[in-house]
Structure 1
Amino acid sequence: MQTDQFIPNNQVSRKTIFAIIGTGVMSFCGILLETAMNVTFPTLMHVFGVSISAVQWITSGYLLVASLVMTLASYMHKRFKLKQIFAWAVLLFFVGLFLCVSATNFSMLLIGRLISGVATGMTTPLLFGIISHDIPVQKLGRYMAIGAIIVSMASVGPTYGGIILYSLGWRAIFWIVLPLALIAAVIGLLNIQQTRPLQKPRLDIMGFFWLAGVFVLISLAFNEASIHGWNSSNFWAFLILGLLAGGLYVWHAHHFAFPLIDINIFKYHRFVLSFVAYALCQLINIGMSFLLPNFGQLVLGANSLLAGLLLLPGSLLRLILMPFGGVVLDKHGAALPILTGISASLISGILFFSFQASLTIPLMTIFYALFSAGFSLTFSNLLTDGMKQLPSKLKGDGNAAFNAIQQYSGSIGASLMATFISISQMNAHGLSSVTATARGSRNDFILLIGMELIMLFLQLIDFRKQRKTAEMR
C-alpha cells in the first residue's frame, strides 16, 4: 500500500519508472485495440451479419470482463508477485490477439476480445498500484497523470482503427500492435520489482460471485433494452436482479473478514463523490468514442478514415493537458482543474446537441477537442483526489474500486449509446435508417449533457465540504 509519508528526497528509481512504462504500454495496447474497434462496427456488422446491439459487445463485453478482473486486483496484489501477475497478463493478451486476427466468425472474435479484457483487467490496476505504492506523495498527482496519459493515449484508437481499416483491413489493427506489445512485455518483465510483502488473504469467492452478478445482470439489462426497448420485462427483471446482487454484496462484505473490495472506502464521503464523478467521466468518455465515429459513418456517410481522424486532434490534446492538470492539482488543489474540466466538457456536449442537425466532420472535430480538453483536466485528478481521502490501509481497495468502475462504466457507456440508437431504429416507423440513427444520437447527446451536469453538481458539493473542513481546522 502507498504510505502517506512526505518523502524528503523526492526520488523515483529508474526501475520504478521502467516498470511504469512497461505495465503502462501493455495496458495502452489493450485499451488501444478496444477503442480502435469502435470505428470498425459498421464493417463488422456487414462482414459477420450482426446488428449494432450485437456488435457493441466487442466493446462492452471486453470492458465488462476487464472490470470483473479488476475487482480481484487488491487480492492479487497481496497474494502474488507483481511480476507473475504481469507475466500472466502478457500471455493472455497474446492468446486473445491471435484469436482475433484468425477469427472466422463473430463468436470467435468476441471470445478473443473477452480474453484480451482479462489481460487489461490485470495490467491497468498493476500500473496504478505501482504508482500509488512506489511514488512519493509529493509527486503523486503528476505520476497519476502520467499513468492516465499512457492509458488515455489509447483514445487515438478510433483514429488508428480508421486509418488501418481503410488501408489494410480490420485484422491488421491487431497485427500492427504486436511488436509494441512485445517490447512492453520485455520492459515490464525486466523491471517490475516486489516492493511490498506478500500476504495470504482468503479469496472472497462469494463476494466475487455477487459482484459478477451485479456487472453481468445490469449489462444484460441494457442489452435487452437495445433489442426489445425500455418496456421489456427482461430489461426490468435483469436490472432488479442486478441491484439485488449489489445489495447482497454489501451485506456479505459486512459479514466477511476479508471482502474482495472493502466497502469501508464508501464511508469517506469525499471519496464517494470523486468515485461517482469518475465513473460518469469514463462513461461519457467511452460513450463519446463509440457515438462519434459511428455517427460520422452511419449518419454523415463518412468513410472509416475520416470517422477515425475526427477524434485525433482531441486525443493529441490530451497528451499535452493531462500532465498539466496533474501539476495544477499538486500546486493549487483539485478544485481548479476539475471544475474547469467539467465545465469545458459540458459546453462541448451542449454544442454537439445544439448543432446536431448541421454537424460536419470538421465541426465534430472541434467540439470533440473541447471535450478532450475538459476530460484531460478532470479524469486523473478525480482519481488522485479521491484516493487522497482514504487512509493507507484502504488504498489498495480504493485503487481496485476505481479501476473496476473505470472499465465497467465504459462498458455501460457503450451499451447506453448503442441502446438509444437501436431503439430509435426499431421505432423508425417509415423513417430512413440515417434519420432514425440521427434521432437516437440526439437522445445520446441529451443523456451525456445530463451526466455532465450531475458531475458538476457532485464536485461542487465535494469542494464545498473541503472548504468547510479547512475552515474548521
Structure 2
Amino acid sequence: MNHPINKKILMPVMLLGSFLSILNQTILNVALPDLMNEFEIGPTTVQWLITGFMLVNGILVPVTAFLMKRFTTRQLFLSSMAFLFVGTFFCAIAPGFKILLIGRLFQAAGAGIIMPLLMTVVFVVFPKEGRGTAMGFIGLAMIFAPAIGPTLAGFVIEYSSWRWIFIGMLPLVAVVILLSLKFLTNVSETSKSKLDLTSVFFSTIGFGALLFGLSNAGDKGWGSAEVLIFIAMGIIFLILFCQRQLTSDDPLLDLSVFKVPMFTTTTIISVLVMFVMYADMILLPIYLQTSRGFSVLDTALLLLPGALVNALMSPVSGRLLDKFGPKPIVITGLLFLLPSIWGVTNLTETTTYNYLMIRTVFLRIGLSFLTMPLNTAGLNTLPTHLSSHGSAVTNTVRQLAGSIGTALIITIFTARTSSHATELADANQSFSPSQLALKSSILGTNDAYLFMLILGIIAFFVTVFMRKERSGEGIEATEEKN
C-alpha cells in the first residue's frame, strides 16, 4: 500500500457515500401511491422501482469480489459515486416511468459496488475484536438510511414535488465525490484477475428470471405458464451458477464460505429478517395511504421515531456483539421483532396512528439487533483470504432477499386482496366499489403480514439451535479444506 491508512478520514467519507447510496433504496417507498397515480400504473409495476433497484444490486454484488481484486478501493468508490450521480440526475429529470426506472437502475449499480467494498475495508483495517463496533457504525448507513428515507421523502413530497428528492441529493453526491478525490486511499493490493463471463451470465439470467416470475405472479396467478416458466428458468440457471462456482479454480463468488457453520446459519437468519424488514417498508405506507387516507407526511412522521431509535441502537448493538457474541444479541432482536409483526396481522379501519408508531419503534429496535450483528458474526468466522468473498456473498444474499421478498410480499398482498374482494362481493352485495377496495386491501395486508410472522418464527427457531462457535474454529476448518 502506498499510503498509510487514516481510518478517521477513510471511514467517514465511505460511510457518507454508502449512506446516500442506501438512502435511495427506500426513499420512494412512501411515494409509491403518488407515483401510481401520476404514471397511471399498478402496484406490480411501480414496485419495480424497488425490486429493480435491488435486482441490479443482487446481480452486481457477486462481481464486486472480482472488482476488488482487479481495481483499487479509490477507483471502485469513485465509480460507485459516479453511477449514483448519473442515476440521480436521470430520476430528477424523468419525464415518464421508464426514465425514472432507468435512473433507479443506475443508482443501484453504484449501491451494488459500495456496500461490499465498505464491509471489506472494515475487515482489512480493523482487528477482529473491534469489527463489531465498526460494523455497528456501518449499520447507521445500512439500517438508518432506509428507515429515514421515507421520512425525508414525505417532507419533500408534502411541500414540493417528488423530483426534489433527487434534485436535493445531487449536490450531496458531488460533495462525496470531491472528498473522496482528495482524501480516499487504497487499502488492498490489486491483481490481474479475469472475469468469469459465464458465471455473470448464469447469475444475471437466474436472478432476473426468478424475480420476474415472482413479480408477475400477483397479476397473472401462480398457475400462469409465463410465471412458472420464468421461475423454473431462474432456478435452473441459479443451479448452473452454483455448480460453476463450486468447480471453478477462481470462482466469481466463492461458495466455500458456506462450509463454515456459523456463516451459513447467520445467512439463513439474515434472509428471513430481510424478508420481514422490506415487507414492512412496502406494506405499511400502502396501508396508511391507500387504506387509511393518511398523507405522505403523516406516514413519514410515523416512521421517524423508529428511524431515530434505529440510529441510536446500531452502534450499541455492535459493541454488545463484541462483548456477548451473536446468539443472545440475535435472540433479543427477534423477541422485539416477532411481537411487532404479530401486532399488525389484524389491522382494521380504526387501528390508531399512535399504536402503529409505537409498534414501529419496537420493530426498529429489533432490527438494530439483527442486521449488522448477523453479518459481522458470520464474517468474523471466515479466514482473511475469504473476507472479500464472504462480504460479497453476504451482500448478494441481503439484496436478493430484499428484492425477492419485496416481489413475493407484493404478490401475496395483491393475490389475497383480489381473493378477499371476490369473497366480500359474494357475501355482501351492498358494498360500494370503494368500500370493497378498502376492506379487501386491509385484509390482504393482514395476510401478507401473517406470512412474514411465520418467517420470523422460523428465524427464531434457527437462532435457538445456533451452536456457539469457538474462536478461530471456522477459520481453521476452512483453511484446512482449502
TM-score normalised by the chain length of structure 1? 0.93
Match of 2:54 among 63, 74, 94: 63
> What does residue 320 of structure 1 align with?
312
Which consecutive residues of structure 2, in runs of 5 or more, have no partner in the other structure? Answer: 426-432, 475-482
Conserved? CA contact 1:18–1:187, under 8 Å: no
> What does residue 120 of structure 2 align with?
129
The alpha-carbon deviation at position 195 of structure 1 amounts to: 2.5
**Distance 1:354-1:226 versus aligned 2 partners, 3 A rule:** closer
> What does residue 435 of structure 1 align with?
439
> What does residue 146 of structure 1 align with?
137
> What does residue 10 of structure 1 align with?
none
CA distance in 1, matches of 2:307, 2:408: 22
User: Matches of residues 177-326 of structure 1 in structure 2 within 5 Å?
Assistant: 177-326=169-318
Name the stretch that deviates more: 193-202 or 55-64.
Answer: 193-202
Q: Deviations over 1:416-453 (max 9, x none)?
A: 22212222343322462212211211111111111111
Match of 1:311, SS state, is helix
The alpha-carbon deviation at position 411 of structure 1 amounts to: 1.2
For 1:89, the aligned partner's letter is S
> What does residue 74 of structure 1 align with?
65
For 1:265, the aligned partner's letter is V
For 1:297, the aligned partner's letter is Q
User: Matches of residues 96-135 of structure 1 in structure 2 within 5 Å?
Assistant: 96-135=87-126
4+ long deviations beyond 6 Å: none
Q: Deviations over 1:356-407 (max 9, x none)?
A: 5642222111111101000001111000110122122211111001111222
CA RMSD of aligned residues (A): 1.9
CA distance in 2, matches of 1:465, 1:172: 49
Conserved? CA contact 1:383–1:402, under 8 Å: yes
Match of 1:453 among 448, 457, 461: 457
CA distance in 2, matches of 1:176, 1:294: 25
For 2:198, the aligned partner's letter is M
For 2:376, the aligned partner's letter is T
CA distance in 1, matches of 2:252, 2:238: 13
For 1:353, the aligned partner's letter is T
> What does residue 345 of structure 1 align with?
337
Conserved? CA contact 1:53–1:226, under 8 Å: yes
The alpha-carbon deviation at position 25 of structure 1 amounts to: 1.6
CA distance in 2, matches of 1:188, 1:389: 31
The alpha-carbon deviation at position 51 of structure 1 amounts to: 0.5
Match of 1:301, SS state, is coil
The alpha-carbon deviation at position 223 of structure 1 amounts to: 1.5
The answer to whether structure 1 residue 360 and structure 2 residue 352 are counterparts is: yes
CA distance in 2, matches of 1:133, 1:14: 10
CA distance in 1, matches of 2:13, 2:219: 41
Conserved? CA contact 1:24–1:124, under 8 Å: no
**Distance 1:411-1:153 versus aligned 2 partners, 3 A rule:** same
Match of 1:310, SS state, is helix
Conserved? CA contact 1:62–1:116, under 8 Å: yes
> What does residue 418 of structure 1 align with?
410
The alpha-carbon deviation at position 272 of structure 1 amounts to: 0.6
CA distance in 1, matches of 2:302, 2:267: 30
Name the stretch that deviates more: 117-126 or 172-181.
Answer: 172-181
- The alignment covers a number of residue pairs equal to 458
Match of 2:251, SS state, is coil
> What does residue 35 of structure 2 align with?
44
The alpha-carbon deviation at position 237 of structure 1 amounts to: 2.0
The alpha-carbon deviation at position 301 of structure 1 amounts to: 0.9
TM-score normalised by the chain length of structure 2? 0.91
CA distance in 2, matches of 1:17, 1:349: 39
CA distance in 2, matches of 1:14, 1:195: 7
CA distance in 2, matches of 1:301, 1:270: 45
The alpha-carbon deviation at position 92 of structure 1 amounts to: 1.3
Identity of paired residues, percent? 26
Match of 1:407 among 379, 395, 399: 399
Name the stretch that deviates more: 185-194 or 452-461.
Answer: 185-194
Conserved? CA contact 2:346–2:446, under 8 Å: no
Match of 1:41, SS state, is helix
The alpha-carbon deviation at position 149 of structure 1 amounts to: 1.2
Which consecutive residues of structure 1, in runs of 5 or more, have no partner in the other structure? Answer: 1-12
**Distance 1:259-1:241 versus aligned 2 partners, 3 A rule:** same
The alpha-carbon deviation at position 287 of structure 1 amounts to: 1.4
**Distance 1:185-1:153 versus aligned 2 partners, 3 A rule:** farther
Match of 1:462, SS state, is coil
The alpha-carbon deviation at position 128 of structure 1 amounts to: 1.1
Q: Deviations over 1:327-363 (max 9, x none)?
A: 1111111122111001110111111114556422221
Name the stretch that deviates more: 205-214 or 71-80.
Answer: 205-214
**Distance 1:464-1:255 versus aligned 2 partners, 3 A rule:** closer
For 1:134, the aligned partner's letter is V
